[in-house]
Amino acid sequence: MSPQAVKALCESFPSARFEFKIEWETEVAFVADKLFAIHGFDKENYRILTLKAKPEDGEYLRQNYETIITPGYHMNKRHWISVRLDEIHDDELVQQLALNSYNLIVDKLPRRIRETCEKRDFHCGSLFFLVRYSLVFASRRKPLKITTKVLPS
């Protein structure tokens, strides 16, 4: 799977964004400011895609795809897996793993954020700011009215 295909795949999910993280020198994919994919290189210089997985699924995948799927590089080895993109020839498997990673993150989001991300395709990072902002001013006597605007793509 090419780097452009990885980017297109990650950006195809609702409310997902894909960007280069300078501190890590790698590309990362977020949904509502939560990380669900990391695209970069491991210490052996393999091009990898690190994704979240259920512990039992990750263990199964690591056993059955020993040379292709490894424990998550620089991540919690129990909850993350790294897929060597130069060695895997099954793009559909990579797509399923990326979708699974995305869904695991979205399922853990607060209900209000999750529903907003599912209903609209806009940058959810701004919504997190609004929620935090409203919580800070929740102690005011007058309720704070916040309207959300859909950001242009």
We report the CATH number of the domain holding residue 100 as 3.90.1150.30
Give the DSSP letter of residue 72: P
Q: Is residue 135 part of a domain?
A: no
Provide the number of structural domains found in the chain. 1
Question: Helices in 108-151 by DSSP H: which ranges?
Answer: 111-119, 125-136
What does the pLDDT look like over 115-148, one tens digit per residue?
777 643 334 443 333 333 333 334 444 444 444 4
Whole-prediction pTM: 0.73
Q: Identify which of 67, 46, 61, 34 has the alpha carbon closest to the alpha carbon of residue 1.
A: 46
* Whole-number pLDDT of residue 118: 62
* Residue pLDDT, tens place only, 63-96: 999 889 999 888 888 899 999 999 888 889 999 9
Is residue 146 one of the residues assigned to a domain?
A: no
Range of the domain at 60: 3-121
Q: Check whether 18 has a pLDDT greater than 60.
A: yes
Residue 127 lies inside a defined structural domain of this protein: no
Q: Tell me which H or E stretch contains 98.
A: helix 91-107
